[in-house]
Amino acid sequence: MHAATMTSERLQRLRRVLADGKPHSTRDIARRSHVLAISACVAELRANGAEIVCERLRVGDRWVFFYTMLKGPASE
């Protein structure tokens, strides 16, 4: 994979959403960061040194994915 660097505005927007260390659903991330390819962007943040966990939880009658950043990218 060819990951973007942390100068990417798209990755910066995603990083800002996840920076609080709290779990965020894919819908929440998309609405707050204006990024739609969440899993691909998370992979790029990971390639830049971030530690991000993904958890699938049952919410009502559907599955929802939540991302939590444990450690920011290397440039931080």
State pLDDT tens for residues 33-58: 999 999 999 999 999 999 999 999 99
CA distance 24 to 43: 16
Residue 12: which of 54, 53, 41 has the closest Cα?
41
User: CATH classification of 9-71, choosing from 2.60.120.260, 1.20.1640.10, 1.10.10.10, 1.10.3720.10?
Assistant: 1.10.10.10
8 Å CB contact between 45 and 17:
no
Q: State pTM to two decimals.
A: 0.89
- Residue ranges covered by each domain of the chain: 9-71
Residue 6's pLDDT band (cuts 50, 70, 90): low
